[in-house]
Structure 1
Amino acid sequence: MCNLYKMRRPADEVARIFAAEAAGRPNVGEDVYPGYPGLVVAEGRVRAMTWGLPLALTGRSGQRLKPRPVNNAREDKLTTPFWRDSFRHRRCLIPVDAWAEAEGERGRMTRTWYSLEPEGAFAVAGLWRATPEWGDAYAMVMVDGCPQMAEVHDRMPVILDRSDWQAWLEGPPDQAMALCRTSLAPLRVERTTEPWAAVRARPHRDSSDAMPRLL
């Protein structure tokens, strides 16, 4: 599953690429992690939302625990209660320059980046909803990985062709579901020596120690 991606373009450039309105100057980082803010295109605007929908948790004694960010949604789970309403009514585009997967031995994993050829921003299928815990939050839709990723991971984000952006945003659910397919577009693969678990700033909420999840 995808737990790190980057978008290194400012909101006004993203708005131009996606023919959307720029809603102010969102304060987002270039590298986006679960529980942190990222840019999305929803309702005709480029907006900052939290990456990961909160999953309520309880302890053994029934006490409420900090929620976990569920940042990825399997395409075969989109009609389950956790995702159903967002899939039907609140789909979004997630602007991405590249996404990363962990590669290597446990404890020594490094970041391998995937992007489209030719290099440029692309749209990943997303879902969003308003949450009482973190405000507006979003998740990526995931499908089976393409052959180029087989050595590293068996899942990848849904990459939408430009001609399918509007159908994903506004089409009926059955049309949107048909777009949840593995992209066979050539990928640019960049293997790095950067540790997978690199140090990063803490998010602005108390879910910073929560592990991301795929549902």
Structure 2
Amino acid sequence: MCNEAYRRRELEKIVRDWSETGITLRFPEGRPNFAPLDGFRITDRVEIIRPAADAPGEAEMVTRRWSWPGPNKRPVYNFRSDGRIIAAPSRCLIPVEGFFEFTDPPPPPPGAPKPAQKPLKSKWAFTLAGHDWFCIAGIWRNDPEAGEAWAMLTCPPGPDIAPYHDRQVVVLGLADCVRWLDPAVPAVDLCRPLPAGSLAAEQVR
């Protein structure tokens, strides 16, 4: 499951590209710092875009915590979209340039000495081919303990992710970001893997 992503673009780049959607993007809590993030993780506070509560047809950017505590107190940071009806007011978008997945490291060659420490997992960065940035579909809620918090939605893996993981986050290009915020578009129409070749993978560790 995805527990780390990154975003290095400046806010103005996101705002400029978002203007192409025709949907007004508001900042009800002021423009966020939006510092470059080489990697943000569970419980970090990160910017999201969601429908504006007091302005139908518009969107707002706010900074909220990634994950809320589940019944077992473990953080809910990924949320299965499969078969769920996700109402538009609870939908959100997480702007990123890429996300990471991890796989077991390759086994040592035959006869090699056992390493003193357990080797780190291999780390892979995934980006949306042909896009400077994209969004991961999310869901947000007001949790009694964590306050307003969000989680990334997941779906079955597409052909680009399947060799690395048995689930994947829901990836949306800008046109589908608009549809995700549209209450007339069922969540099931967008919570699906992309065709082969849509995502590029690069090993970074």
Residues 51-72 of structure 1 show CA distances to partners (whole Å, capped at 9, x for unaligned) of: 1122133xxxxxxxxx322111
Work out whether 1:49 is the aligned partner of 2:56. Answer: no
Of residues 77, 82, 91 in structure 2, which corresponds to 1:71? 77
Unaligned runs of 5+ in 1: 58-66, 194-215
- 1:25 — aligned with what? 32
Distance 1:123 1:27, change over 3 A: closer
- 1:146 — aligned with what? 158
Distance 1:155 1:117, change over 3 A: same
Residues 37-89 of structure 1 show CA distances to partners (whole Å, capped at 9, x for unaligned) of: 111101212211111122133xxxxxxxxx3221111112635xxxx6xx453
Aligned residues: percent identity? 28
TM-fit CA distance, 1:134? 2.3
Where do 1:5-154 residues align within 5 Å?
5-19=5-19, 20-22=25-27, 23-26=30-33, 30=37, 31-42=39-50, 43=52, 44-57=59-72, 67-76=73-82, 78-79=84-85, 87=87, 89-105=89-105, 107-154=119-166
Distance 1:166 1:7, change over 3 A: same
Residues 118-150 of structure 1 show CA distances to partners (whole Å, capped at 9, x for unaligned) of: 241102111111223222211111111121222
Structure 1 segments (4+ residues) deviating >6 Å: none
Q: Is the 8 A contact 1:141 1:158 kept in 2?
A: yes
Distance 1:8 1:29, change over 3 A: closer
- C-alpha distance in 1 between matches for 2:129 and 2:103: 21
Q: Is the 8 A contact 2:43 2:67 kept in 1?
A: yes
Number of paired residues? 177
User: What do you get for the CA RMSD once the two structures are aligned?
Assistant: 2.3
Q: Which amino acid aligns with 1:116?
A: L
Residues 150-176 of structure 1 show CA distances to partners (whole Å, capped at 9, x for unaligned) of: 22112111112322323311324x622
Distance 1:14 1:133, change over 3 A: farther
- 2:177 — aligned with what? 165
